[in-house]
Chain A
Amino acid sequence: MRLRLKIWRQESNEITGRMESYELKEVNEEMSFLEMLDVLNEQLMQQGIRPVEFDHDCREGICGQCGVMINGEPHGPLQNTTTCQLHMRTFRDGEEIYIEPFRALAFPVKCDLKIDRSAFDRIIQSGGFISVDTGQAPEANSTRIPVPVAESAFDSAACIGCGACVAACKNTSAALFTSAKITHLAKLPQGKTEAQERVLHMVAQMDAEGFGHCTNTEACEAACPQEISVLNIARMNWEFNKAHIMRK
């Protein structure tokens, strides 16, 4: 199949970028989207053009490093799919495809489609953990955790940190990412001890990074490759309100 690509090119953070058009003549529909970009890059290098920089690593949908806007949607038109798992059979022959980096003030573009998502790391650093040192753990089966609790904690913990939720949000809110970690740890007995401190610190850090307000449009859930539920946001709000009221 043939494709016309419109790709965001920006050599570095300091330089303003622009959309560039490229044409690919022989694309196999069994290719993954990133393999299509590999092919494009080989073609660009033959023409002496700087290849397109994009983030990717595991190419099996779990590392969370890939992620671009494809035709105006994070990770492309298929729901709950990462960019690397998107295959070219989803597109039509001759289609024009727009490829842009995720955009948010908190996610500065580094080069072409590469962005800086270290804001997420700092949110986790502010409290997204259980404070337990190596060697302090009690016998694993000493705490019983009912299956529904363990399963729903897993659902929240499944987040891969790709940033599609922020990209999908008209307010570039990181509520889904932040709340998924808060909820994962708040649901488990091990994490309850620090729940109050955690939610206050993580929300403060989320705000400090320059993410927007969540207005509950639920676009984040629709874009999330791991189908993280917006109810995590509700749980975060609950934990936050509780912490505020109970705070001394």
Chain B
Amino acid sequence: MLESKIPEGPLEEKWNYYKSHTKLVNPANRKKIDIIVVGTGLAGSAIAASLGEMGYRVKSFCFQDTARRAHSVAAQGGVNACKNYKNDGDSVFRMFYDTLKGGDFRSREANVYRLAECSANLIDRAVAQGVPFGREYGGYLNNRSFGGVQVSRTFYARGQTGQQLLLGAYQALMRQVHAGHVQLSTRHEMLELVVIDGKARGVIVRNMETGAIERHGAHAVVLATGGFGKIYFLSTLAMGCNGSAIWRAHKKGALIANPSWTQIHPTSLPQSGEYQSKLTLMSESLRNDGRIWVPKKQDDQRPPNQIPEEERDYYLERRYPAFGNLTPRDIASRAAKERIDAGYGIGPLKNAVYLDFSKAISEQGEEKIREKYGNLFRMYQKITNVNAYTEPMRISPAAHFSMGGLWVDYELMTSIPGLYALGEANFADHGANRLGANSLLQACVDGYFIAPYTMANFLADEIRTGPIDTRHPAFEAAEEQVRDQLRMLETIQGKHPADYFHRQLGRILYDRCGLSRSAPGLESAITDIQQLRKEFYKQLYVPRGFAINAELEKAGRVADYLELGELMCHDALNRNESCGAHFREEYQTPDGEALRNDADFSFIAAWEWQGANNPPLLHKEPLHFEFVTPSVRSYK
């Protein structure tokens, strides 16, 4: 059933072959084709702008008040590209291999290779748009190192690379809006996908300013709605990030692949109390110069600067001497959790580890460190009131990135024809763990360089379809369904707001479907989530009858999370191995490293919705490794 549509031929020629043989749409015909793009992050803005430039009629939606606020804006560290400007032996193949290995050999070779191949173009594109990347004194582009690799291939714009790339894409989008090729609707949330004759033909959206429910038809729908890490409640994501668009598409037949693979980022600020709404991320680039440690003594109450060098345990350097503090994120997070669980955690809640810059400051001088990370240190001080130049930062792991997402083929099309998923919303390129600075890359490459080609292959057959009629019964039914759900959420009038349930769901998932998982834990989590869902539909409170109603928006998202969370547990329970971010306690080596099982689990788990009260149906897409041999991932 799952046809990945990977082209034949040698690895390095697949994408070129595809591009030269795919169908095209004549410029005159593009005007006849409507495309809906949901989301205006890097992937969404990039595809909407690119399609607009080509002459398609694009409708773009975002729930924020302007397209520039999408959460791509928050990515700090950088974007990878194998330009080999540093002359340190980088190449497309090496980047491909690093990414594949970083993902613990749980992604498609062809997809990952294409990602690496297009990376160089992206830097050219971004520079042309005016993205002010960091430079060397000769005026050429500079690079920094990131976790999980041994070359410097990360391009950066101080600690605000995501913001700058997004502004580039946003400006490109604004240009198309001005030209009349893209019709942008902000503060609109997609609540349903409309499928006609098996093809995605439109969406139902809610205008968050007037409460109006609107129908929009198109020949293809692109979901670039980002990740769903916010399901953990406490995460590095924005408050509005949600999984609703992909979840509603899932319920209409799109498969979701590997949903349990969530990256837990090692360097975020620890939780400080019950009221907390989010965990702020500190860029991974800090690990270039920061050293991570905990006291060697359990429950050490001394302030960090009074703990002498020999009583500090630099556990990453101890366990992984080859990569040290720059081990991939899953490993760094798990190592932190191991120390915290063993009672070596620091801070008032004993839930953190130190990230120490004293060595870097004494070697390079405070000025140099300020130049590299000044904005991060300032942000840290604003939030914690601590000066990290004189005292180590306290950091702890936090839910961050969804490697899983809608299943897509090589063309980024989901299992519903005409429905595409781009960026973090799809599952494609990162396997079981994403390398730092690869998410900006993937979102951009999907939006600028892949989907514009692959969508034409589908749209070429749509030129005779004519405009999509939103009076079709499928639109009628979808709209009714949306109205019913909103009405239902408002009429429960129970005791607790949506956040109450969201917090509980988050706790269940952190404990049992987070950094480490076990069969009994996951089984109990499934029961608990089902129970919580029942309670949600009995006890939810949403203020009734207001057009602008943040609580109603939240309630709809939490309702979806309560179903998605269960699917995550099913997915984690099904995978009887440890790989990347998915660590099953039953499957580990004697020294606590992940134990992968290539014989039985070298596949992508794509799940099909079977109704709220039935377990999901698993489809397996086997992974074939023709060009590399999966090895045991070692960063020692």
Direct contact of A and B (CB under 8 A): yes
Q: Known: A35-B276, A63-B71, A118-B65. Is A110-B548 also a contact (CB below 8 A)?
A: yes
The 0/1 profile, CB within 8 Å of B marked 1, for residues 22-54 of chain A is 000000101110110011011001000011010
Chain B residues in 8 Å Cβ range of A153: 130, 132
Mark each residue of chain A from 90 to 113: 1 if its CB lies under 8 Å from any CB of chain B, else 0. Answer: 000000000000000000001100
Contacts A134-B125, A140-B124, A157-B132 given; does A124 touch B280 at CB 8 Å: no
Whether A58 touches B551, Cβ cut-off 8 Å, given contacts A42-B497, A118-B65, A160-B163, is no
Residues in B whose Cβ lies below 8 Å from that of A154: 132, 157-158, 164
Chain B residues within an 8 Å CB radius of A62: 73-74, 160, 163
| Residues in A134-179 with C-beta less than 8 Å from chain B | 134, 136-141, 143-147, 150-151, 153-154, 157-158, 160-161
How far apart are the CA atoms of A151 and B164 in the complex, in Å? 13
- Are A35 and B50 touching (Cβ within 8 A)? no
Q: Which of A128, A147, A161 contacts B137 (CB 8 A)?
A: A147
Closest Cβ of chain A: how far from B173's Cβ, in Å? 9
Q: Is the CB of B128 within 8 A of A132?
A: yes
- Which chain A residues border B140 with CB–CB below 8 Å? 141, 144
B520 at the interface (CB under 8 A from A): no
B382 engages A50 (CB within 8 Å): no
Contact between A38 and B499, CB atoms less than 8 A apart = yes
Cβ proximity bits B550-577 to A, threshold 8 Å, 1 near / 0 not: 1100000000000000000000000000
Which residue in chain B gives the minimum CB-CB distance to A81?
Answer: B382
Q: Mark B46-83, 1 if CB is under 8 A from A, else 0.
A: 10011001000000000011111101011000000001
Knowing A118-B186, A121-B174 are in contact, say whether A190-B74 is a contact too (CB < 8 A): no
A191 on interface, CB distance cutoff 8 Å: yes
Instruction: State A144–B127 Cα separation when bound (angstroms).
Output: 11
Query: Which residue, B158, B385, B548, has most C-beta atoms of chain A within 10 A?
Result: B548
Tell me if A218 is interfacial: C-beta within 8 Å of chain B.
Answer: no
Q: How far is the CA of A64 from the CA of B71 in the complex (A)?
A: 11
Contact of A190 among B123, B127, B137 (CB under 8 A): B127
A51, A58, A145, A158: most-surrounded residue (chain B CB, <10 A):
A58
**Chain A residues positioned under 8 Å from B178 (CB to CB):** 125-126
- Give the interface centre of B137, B239, B448, B546 by most chain A CB atoms within 10 Å: B239
Known: A62-B74, A191-B130. A87 touches B383 (CB 8 A): yes
Whether A121 and B66, one on each chain, are in contact in the complex, defined by CB atoms closer than 8 angstroms, is yes
Determine if B238 and A161 form an interchain contact, defined as CB atoms under 8 angstroms apart.
no
Q: Assess A157 versus B65: contact at CB under 8 Å? Given A30-B272, A125-B175.
A: no
Chain A CB within 8 A of B536 CB: no
Cβ of A59 within 8 Å of any chain B Cβ, yes or no, is: yes
Residues of B within 8 A of A30 (CB): 272-273
Instruction: Name the CB-closest residue of B to A181.
Output: B171
B272's closest neighbor in chain A, by CB? A30
Partner of A57, one of B125, B157, B239, B272: B239
Name which residue of chain A comes closest to B186, CB basis: A118
Give bound CA distance, A169 to B517, whole Å.
54
**Candidate in B83, B124, B551 with the most chain A CB atoms within 10 angstroms:** B124
Min CB–CB distance B180 → chain A (angstroms): 11
A146 to B36, CA, bound (A): 41
Residues of B in contact, count (CB < 8 Å): 78
| A65 neighbours in B (Cβ, 8 Å) | 64-65, 69
Flag whether B590 is at the interface (Cβ < 8 A): no
The complex places the Cα of A13 from the Cα of B129 at a distance, in Å, of 37
Collect the chain B residues with CB atoms within 8 Å of residue A9's CB.
none
CA of A51 to CA of B541, assembled, Å: 12
A130 and B130 contact, CB distance less than 8 A? yes
Cross-chain contact B127 with A38 (CB below 8 angstroms): no
Contact with B along A207-239 (1 / 0, CB 8 A): 000000000000000000000000000000000
A4 on the B face (CB < 8 A): no
In the assembled complex, A129 has its CB within 8 A of some CB on chain B: yes
The A-contacting residues of B in range 122-146, CB under 8 angstroms, are 123-130, 132-141
User: Does the CB pair A87–B385 fall under 8 Å?
Assistant: yes
Q: Are A60 and B280 closer than 8 Å at their CB atoms?
A: yes
* B385 in contact with A158 (CB, 8 Å): no
B425 within 8 A of A: no
A60, B74: Cβ atoms closer than 8 Å: yes
B residues near A45, Cβ cutoff 8 Å: 497, 541, 543, 551
Interface centre among B157, B175, B177, B547 (most CB of A within 10 A): B175
Chain B residue nearest in CB terms to A57: B238
How far apart are the CA atoms of A200 and B74 in the complex, in Å?
31
Distance of A109 from chain B, by nearest CB (Å): 11
- Distance in angstroms from A223 CB to nearest chain B CB is 15
Min distance, Cβ B99 to any Cβ of chain A, angstroms: 21
Q: Determine if A150 and B133 form an interchain contact, defined as CB atoms under 8 angstroms apart.
A: yes
- The reply to whether the CB of A185 lies closer than 8 angstroms to some CB of chain B is yes
Known contacts A134-B449, A141-B140, A190-B128: A128-B73 contact under CB 8 Å? no
Known A-B contacts A130-B129, A147-B139; the reply to A85 vs B65 at CB < 8 A is no
By the criterion CB–CB under 8 Å, are B449 and A58 in contact? no
**Cβ–Cβ contact B68 & A161, under 8 A:** yes
Q: Are A150 and B174 in contact (CB under 8 A)?
A: no
Q: Is the CB–CB distance between A56 and B68 below 8 Å?
A: no
Minimum C-beta distance from B132 to chain A (A): 4
Q: How far is the CA of A30 from the CA of B203 in the complex (A)?
A: 42
Residue A16 lies at the interface, judged by CB distance under 8 Å to chain B: no
CA distance A140 to B126 in the complex (A): 8
Contact A147 to B174, CB < 8 A, known contacts A154-B157, A157-B167: no
**A60 to B398, alpha carbons, bound, how many Å?**
14
Which of A50, A58, A124, A160 meets B546, CB within 8 Å?
A: A50
Chain B proximity of A214: nearest CB distance (Å):
22
- A187's closest neighbor in chain B, by CB? B132
- Cα distance A62–B83 in the bound complex, in angstroms: 29
| Min C-beta distance of A130 to chain B, whole Å | 5
Asked if A190 meets B130 with Cβ closer than 8 Å, knowing A12-B548, A51-B550, A63-B64, the reply is: yes
Chain A residues with CB under 8 A of B588:
none
Q: What are 11 residue pairs bridging A and B, where the CB atoms are less than 8 Å apart in the complex? A: A32-B277, A35-B275, A50-B543, A57-B238, A65-B69, A85-B382, A111-B547, A118-B66, A134-B49, A139-B124, A184-B130
Supplied contacts A145-B135, A147-B135, A153-B130, 15 more A-B pairs, CB within 8 Å: A31-B273, A38-B277, A53-B549, A63-B64, A89-B385, A121-B68, A130-B130, A134-B449, A141-B83, A141-B141, A147-B136, A157-B167, A158-B160, A160-B163, A190-B129
In the complex, the 6 A-B pairs of residues with the closest C-beta atoms, listed nearest first: A144-B139, A129-B171, A137-B128, A137-B124, A154-B132, A125-B178
